[in-house]
Amino acid sequence: MDTEVVAGWLSSEDLDSARERLPIVYVEAVPVRVDERGAVSEVGLLLRVRPDGSISHSLVSGRVWYGELVRDALMRHLEKDLGPRALPRLPASIAPVTVAEYFPSPEVTGLVDPRQHAVALVYVVPVTGECEPTQSALELRWFTPAEALSDAMAADMAGGQHRLVRAALVHCGHVQ
Amino acid sequence: MDTEVVAGWLSSEDLDSARERLPIVYVEAVPVRVDERGAVSEVGLLLRVRPDGSISHSLVSGRVWYGELVRDALMRHLEKDLGPRALPRLPASIAPVTVAEYFPSPEVTGLVDPRQHAVALVYVVPVTGECEPTQSALELRWFTPAEALSDAMAADMAGGQHRLVRAALVHCGHVQ
Amino acid sequence: MDTEVVAGWLSSEDLDSARERLPIVYVEAVPVRVDERGAVSEVGLLLRVRPDGSISHSLVSGRVWYGELVRDALMRHLEKDLGPRALPRLPASIAPVTVAEYFPSPEVTGLVDPRQHAVALVYVVPVTGECEPTQSALELRWFTPAEALSDAMAADMAGGQHRLVRAALVHCGHVQ
Amino acid sequence: MDTEVVAGWLSSEDLDSARERLPIVYVEAVPVRVDERGAVSEVGLLLRVRPDGSISHSLVSGRVWYGELVRDALMRHLEKDLGPRALPRLPASIAPVTVAEYFPSPEVTGLVDPRQHAVALVYVVPVTGECEPTQSALELRWFTPAEALSDAMAADMAGGQHRLVRAALVHCGHVQ
């Protein structure tokens, strides 16, 4: 079975309809640089310009297609968001660091996606190559763990995603 | 936000339509008995009669509804499959033991669901009360880890689910 | 083999000598109360009076004896610190939430133990019974996750242990 | 603080003495080859000749020194056992896949170390370079997951270590 099946593509209309009725499966990656001993030295966040001109930081994130393996979806979104030469190293286990549950309303979990109820599998992904964001992002910027954990960064991330950055860093031994 | 929302219910037709186009979010639980030190002593499997009269064993399993938290979906399916007095103890972390990817075709992962592409979050759930399967299952039967890991049991589980039993037991320190 | 062997006891002198030459194996538990769905609602911390009269908060913690299983060491220290009616529920998997590395010097990891280099396996342990600290602790006090994550609490914990509380809570889905 | 401290070295006599009275902290690594998507494609095992001339397979394994970080101990033993050009990629999190408890007697856990009670933190470590065992091992040989999970392999591994290979592979999604 080809996991890159055409059925992965829905019309916008069909996707809108499904989003009103079913949780949507997502994958999210926190890109990191690691030192030669594997310890996290930097966290990569995508920069996007908001309508008001301010800068927003976000994770690598996207939907799992029909017929697609979680591992393939992760690779596809990493390549889409970081470019073809990022050389991401997915973990050997597909068990996620955490599960992020997004809802249109902020009251449920604090993670917000106005479009849908999404269940996202979250991974920490060391990246060893050169990153060239190819889509809507301006660039990928690298931060120290302390910067990524700061309250200033939390204010610059939408939808509660700073929580996932913090969860990922704590998982890797960085705790404020 | 009420997580038991009516929107969780799709018409059969709508669900069939979505199943042809999107991966569906599932939760699965391996019910276990633990001793006073928390070590797994028995594994619970649901017994169902197949059309040919043979017995099949299966896990607690079911869909996550629109608007429903993963933790609530797990509780709902545990109660549905084990009855209201099973007293399941969900883990404190919602990170699953593993992610099970089911496809209509057996070639992709070896986990098969003829109806759909499902992405299932798999948990080990200690159960302390009395189990009374309330739906299509005949009963819940308890097995020692050695029995649950046996080739005979593998032959009695459909869709490759014996792999999840093995993964769960290995996770809990039981390895053949 | 009896895991409660006499060899578990070292003379003070022998233990002092070993502590200068080998990392010592520890277990640490973050006691929690969970709601009926398994989510963490409170964190338990032991209160001790410092020589200067101030109050210090700490985790359940102690050494693994020679010949003793990690699971048995955890049960022994939980009973010692929380009393015989605490009814702790150890996780089904013995893989720890994190590994805490304590050194006499604060520069290495930020976790400090003036007596030794200790490698501690850290667990989150739901407790369902009544807690009556039986040793040097004044009492066990329960805190909301927000209180346990606060900077005030960090200031009240010695040796960097507030990091383990934060790691445990993040692991359970509580992130500031 | 230099983690490669001289104090890491004990005289043979002192180490023998400590081994009779304290559990010893170990790290163990299951070396793997991964494909470009991070999935495990091969497992590496060290080959040693037994006194009777038969071949034994084993993991990368060794003691954590006094003053040494777990991550540094892992790197040291990987380099010692696989050579300086193996290019191991340690996981970003120091939480182990499992904890292996070795005892002189086979009755306790099935993991046997005649010399001591050892508590080993077990990791899966992707290796990307060239492996040249530099010490007592004859060579590192690569096996498919199916070969590594086979009963034949179990018979060729001493001390119950095949269980750790199985646990590691199951963790990475390979289940028989």
Rounded to whole angstroms, the Cα distance separating B128 from B149 reads 22
- What is the model's pLDDT at position B1? 32
* Predicted ipTM of the assembly: 0.90
Instruction: Output the furthest CA–CA distance in chain D (Å, rounded).
Output: 48
C-alpha to C-alpha distance for A71 and A61, rounded to whole angstroms: 13
Q: Which of B95, C81, B102, C160 is nearest to A98 (CA)?
A: B95
Mean pLDDT of the region B112-119: 94
Report yes or no on D62 lying in a domain.
Answer: yes
Tell me if B40 is assigned to some domain.
yes
Nearest CB among D34, D39, D92 relative to A38 is that of: D92
Which of B143, B145, B141, B144 has the alpha carbon at shortest distance from B173? B145
Q: State the pLDDT at residue C7.
A: 42
| 3-class SS string, chain B | CCCCCHHHCCCHHHHHHHHCCCCEEEEEEEEEEECCCCCEEEEEEEEEECCCCCEEEECEEEECCCCCCHHHHHHHHHHHHHCCCCCECCCCCCCCCEEEEEECCCCCCCCECCCCCEEEEEEEEEECCCCCCCCCCCEEEEECHHHHCCHHHHHCECCCCHHHHHHHHHHCCCCC
Q: Structural domain tally of chain D? A: 1
Question: What pLDDT shows up at residue A1?
Answer: 32
Q: For residue A32, list chain D residues with Cβ-Cβ distance below 8 A.
A: 92
pLDDT score of C2: 35
Pairing of strands C60-63, B98-102: unpaired
Closest CA to B46 of B11, B86, B73: B86
Is pLDDT above 70 for B133? yes
- Between B45-59, C7-21, C97-111, C141-155, the lowest mean confidence (pLDDT) is in C7-21
Written as six digits, the tokens of C173 are 């889905």
Nearest to A92 among D71, D93, D124 (CB): D124
In a domain, A113, yes or no: yes
Report pLDDT digits (tens) over C66-113: 999 999 999 999 999 999 999 999 999 999 999 999 999 999 999 999
Domain extent at residue C77: 6-171
Q: Considering the domain boundaries, does residue D1 fall inside one?
A: no
Q: pLDDT per residue over A11-25, tens digit each?
A: 777 777 777 789 999
- The alpha carbon of residue A74 is apart from the nearest alpha carbon of chain C, in Å, by 22
Could you read off the pLDDT of A98-134 as tens digits, one per residue? Answer: 999 999 999 999 999 999 999 999 999 999 999 998 7
Query: CA dist B3 to A119, C37, C173, D23, Å?
Result: 14, 14, 18, 48
pLDDT of residue A10: 64
> B172 and C93 in contact by Cβ < 8 A?
yes
> For residue range C112-150, what is the model confidence (pLDDT) as tens digits?
999 999 999 999 999 999 999 876 777 899 999 999 999
Q: Do C92 and B37 touch (CB under 8 A)?
A: no
**pLDDT for the residue D10:** 64
SS3 assignment for chain C: CCCCCHHHCCCHHHHHHHHCCCCEEEEEEEEEEECCCCCEEEEEEEEEECCCCCEEEECEEEECCCCCCHHHHHHHHHHHHHCCCCCECCCCCCCCCEEEEEECCCCCCCCECCCCCEEEEEEEEEECCCCCCCCCCCEEEEECHHHHHCHHHHHCECCCCHHHHHHHHHHCCCCC
Beta bridge partners of A142: A44
pLDDT reported for residue C32: 98
Four-CA torsion A150, A152, A155, A156, nearest 10 degrees: -100
Q: Tell me whether residue D42 is exposed, middle or buried, using C-beta atoms within 10 angstroms of its C-beta: 0 to 12, 13 to 18, 19 or more.
A: middle
Determine contact, residues C18/C7, Cβ cutoff 8 Å. Answer: no
Give the pLDDT confidence score for residue C19 in this predicted structure. 77
pLDDT surpasses 50 at B51: yes
pLDDT given at position B17: 77
Could you tell me if residue D176 is inside a domain? no
Do residues A153 and A130 lie in contact, with contact meaning Cβ atoms separated by under 8 Å? Answer: no
**Mean pLDDT, residues D72-92:** 95
C-alpha pair distances (Å), D5 with each of C115, D60, D68, D69, D83: 17, 22, 8, 11, 22
Contacts of B175 in chain D (CB under 8 A): 163, 166-167, 170
Percent of chain C with pLDDT over 70: 93
Q: Are B126 and B90 within 8 A, CB to CB?
A: no
pLDDT the model gives residue B134: 75
Residue-level pLDDT at B6: 40
The answer on pLDDT for C5 being more than 70 is: no
Average pLDDT over residues D74-81: 95
What's the pLDDT at C119? 98
pLDDT of residue C3: 36
What is the rounded CA–CA span in Å between residue A31 and residue A129?
11
Question: What pLDDT, on a 0 to 100 scale, did the predictor assign at position B92?
Answer: 95
Top pLDDT among C9 and B138 is at: B138
Looking at the domain assignment, is residue B1 inside a domain? no
Give all chains having 3 or more CB-to-CB distances under 8 Å with chain B.
A, C, D
* Contact assessment for residue D25 and residue D18, using Cβ atoms and an 8 Å cutoff: no
Check A92 against D172: CB less than 8 A apart.
yes
Q: Give the distance, in angstroms, between the CA of residue B140 and the centroid of all CA atoms in the same chain.
A: 12
Of C42-51, C154-163, D7-16, D19-28, minimum mean pLDDT range: D7-16
Residue A23, H or E segment: none
Say if residue C4's pLDDT is above 60. no
User: How far is CA D91 from each of CA A89, A126, C79, D94, rounded to the nearest angstrom?
Assistant: 10, 9, 34, 7
Mean of per-residue pLDDT scores for chain D:
89
Is the CB of C93 less than 8 angstroms away from the CB of B171? yes
Query: Number of A:D CB contacts under 8 A?
Result: 60
Give the pairing of strands C40-49 and C24-34: antiparallel
Contacts of D70 in chain C (CB under 8 A): 99, 101, 119
CA distance B88 to B84: 10
Question: How many whole angstroms separate alpha carbon D144 and alpha carbon D132?
Answer: 19
Neighbouring residues of A17: CB distance < 8 A, sequence distance ≥ 6: none
Query: Chain C residues with CB inside 8 Å of B89's CB?
Result: 34, 38, 89, 126
b/e for C47-79, b at 16 or more Cβ within 10 A?
ebeeeeeeebbbbbbbbbbbbbbbbbbbbbbbe
Interface of D with A (CB under 8 A): 32, 34, 37-40, 71-72, 75, 89-95, 97, 124, 126, 171-173
Predicted pLDDT of residue A5: 39
DSSP A120-172: EEEEEEEB-S-----SS-SEEEEE-HHHHTSHHHHHTBSTTTHHHHHHHHHHT
Query: What tokens appear for A36 in the block?
Result: 């030669």
CATH number at residue A162: 3.90.79.10
Q: Which of A3-7, A29-33, B11-15, D172-176 has the highest mean pLDDT?
A: A29-33
User: In this prediction, what percent of chain D has a pLDDT beyond 70?
Assistant: 93
Taking residue C115's Cβ as centre, other Cβ atoms within 10 Å add up to 12
Q: Which of D79, D90, D93 best probes binding to A when mutated, by most A CB atoms within 10 angstroms? A: D93
Model confidence over D98-148: pLDDT tens digits? 999 999 999 999 999 999 999 999 999 999 999 998 767 778 999 999 999
Asked whether residue C139 is assigned to any structural domain, the reply reads: yes
Using the predicted structure, report yes or no on whether residue C10 has a pLDDT greater than 50.
Answer: yes
- Who contacts A15 (Cβ-Cβ below 8 Å, separation ≥6)? none
Asked whether the beta carbons of B43 and B145 are under 8 A apart, the reply is yes
Cα of first residue to Cα of last residue in chain D, in angstroms, is 46
Mean pLDDT of chain C, nearest integer: 89
- Contact: C170, A166; criterion CB under 8 Å: yes
Which chain A residue lies closest to D167 (C-alpha atoms)?
Answer: A93
**Does B171 contact C95 at a Cβ distance shorter than 8 Å?**
yes
What CA–CA distance (Å, rounded) separates D114 from D16?
Answer: 12
Low-confidence ranges of chain A (pLDDT < 70): 1-10, 135, 176
Mean pLDDT of chain A: 89
Measured distance CA(C98)–CA(B35) in Å, rounded: 24
* Interchain CB distance below 8 Å, B108 and A64: no
Q: Please, which residues bridge with residue C99 across strands?
A: C121
Q: Which of D108, D169, D171, D175 to mutate to test the interface with B (most CBs of B within 10 A)?
A: D175
Q: Residue D9's pLDDT is what? A: 54
